[in-house]
Homo-oligomer: A and B are copies of this chain.
Amino acid sequence: MGKSIWAASLIATIIGVTVNVPLPDTVYVSIAFAILASVVTWKTLPRLAMTFVEARVSGVDVLKRDRPLLPEAMGFPTAVIYLIAMFCFIPFPFINWFDGEARLVHEDNPMIGTFPYHKLGQILSAILAIQSMVLLGFADDILDVRWRYKVWFPAVASVPLLIFYYTNFGVTHVVMPLQLRSLLGELVDLGPLYYVYMVMLVIFCTHTINILAGINGIEAGQSLIIALSIIINDLLYMCNNTDRESLEAHLFSLYFMLPFAGVTAALLAHNWFPARLFVGDTFCYFAGITFAVVGILGHFSKTLILFFIPQIFNFIYSCPQLFRLVDCPRHRMPRFDSTKRLLQCSTVIIKPSNSLRAKLGRLILKILYMLGLLKVIKWDDDGRLVECNNLTIINLVLARLGPMSEVNTTRTILGIQVLSSLFAFFIRYKLVQYVY
């Protein structure tokens, strides 16, 4: 199963890319790197499994009957292979400057050559941001950093990116929707607020994949679907667009997304039910920052956000527990019914507190119940809510669609992710004309 997913997604990517789209040669080089990195990842991960288990970088898969011990943080070697692939890819977009006359001009006058250093700087700052997050993610996997600290990790990692953004674009205005233009004008300059927006975007993308996690294949699966959505969006842009700058922005995105999709597909194949390894926080961070980087430097952060609809829903849905209006157990993964081998939603007991915070929590739960977004397990005699499902999209799916096998749960969530991406394309290419 794992192998076929891997092969299918690779083939789909290649066909999707090569059919009917006139592409620069560098994209084919990038595809070659993606395939190579994917194969290397596929071959390398099983060989590293024992090393990780021996180094005690491992965890128990509690949703299985035999509770196997699996290597953890395998997103780390995946990310390292990706980074090495990107290192080796760096020269290719600049290959025209490396031979012939351009090179000669450059050598005579090294400081003011024709070489596009701003493009090289863009790639370097992007890789630097991604690598920073991989570094911090691996540290988190090993040292188990507390949330209050690690929530700021992506902000640290985004510093080189923002500095580069400042020097290279410095664009801080946003285009207003048609409906607001009479009030605010067509462009509104957000100034420093735009940098706050970018940091928030990086933090959101990085943590949001880590929150929608806990069952085999879910982290790598959602990341692969988002990556493929971004790739398709880039290709659509490149078909319909002749504007050079926009073209280059989406080329940049492709260079980063193609190898990412490659290594992620290989990782997913090993992490698919029944998993032989866990991806770890490293992978979730790595995936999130990579999306944020291409969204920001590729100038399509709004479209990017559209591809995160399930994650946004999951985050908002989780908020009452994340901000402790409702009790939050350390793990909110589904409960495993070992006799039937099925997953059920895990639940939380609502303590009968009268604090303002608890009252607000109960109000929100009541609203969720009325919206059909909550399964109440138990009411007390006064009609007060005593037990309900944990507030994650996985538990909601299990609460609504009944007990389900782990693999079907993953399939359902990934199905929702695919539908969301289709909806995102609909908004982006159809509905958008009524807004912009």
Contact = CB atoms under 8 A, between A and B. Distances in A.
A128 B124 contact: yes
B124 A160 contact: yes
A88 B156 CA distance: 9
A153 to B, nearest CB: 10
Nearest to A168: B110
Contacts of A97: 167
B115 A167 contact: yes
Interface in A345-363: none
Contacts of A84: 156, 159
Interface string A409-427: 0000000000000000000
Contact of A111 (B118, B121, B156): B118
Contacts of A164: 120, 124
Nearest to A245: B111
A143 B55 contact: yes
B110 A170 contact: yes
Contacts of A186: none
A131 interface: yes
Contacts of A94: 167
Contact of A121 (B56, B87, B107, B120): B120
Contacts of A136: 80
Interface string A84-111: 1001101100100110000100110011
Nearest to A94: B167
Contacts of A98: 166
| Copies of the protein in its oligomer | 2
Label chain A's interface by main secondary structure.
Answer: helix
Contacts of A159: 84, 87-88, 90
A343 interface: no
Contact of A142 (B91, B142, B168): B142
A132 interface: yes
Contact of A160 (B76, B90, B142): B90
A194 interface: no
Interface string A130-142: 0110111011001
Contacts of A83: 132
Contacts of A121: 117, 120-121, 124
Contacts of A132: 83, 131
A52 interface: yes
Contacts of A87: 156, 159-160, 163
19 contacts: A51-B143, A51-B144, A55-B143, A83-B132, A87-B156, A87-B160, A87-B163, A91-B166, A94-B167, A103-B170, A110-B170, A111-B118, A115-B167, A117-B117, A117-B167, A117-B168, A121-B124, A135-B135, A138-B138
Closest 7 CB pairs of A and B: A117-B117, A124-B124, A87-B159, A117-B118, A121-B121, A55-B143, A117-B121
Interface of A: 51-52, 55-57, 76, 80, 83-84, 87-88, 90-91, 94, 97-98, 103, 106-107, 110-111, 113, 115, 117-118, 120-121, 124-125, 127-128, 131-132, 134-136, 138-139, 142-144, 156, 159-160, 163-164, 166-170
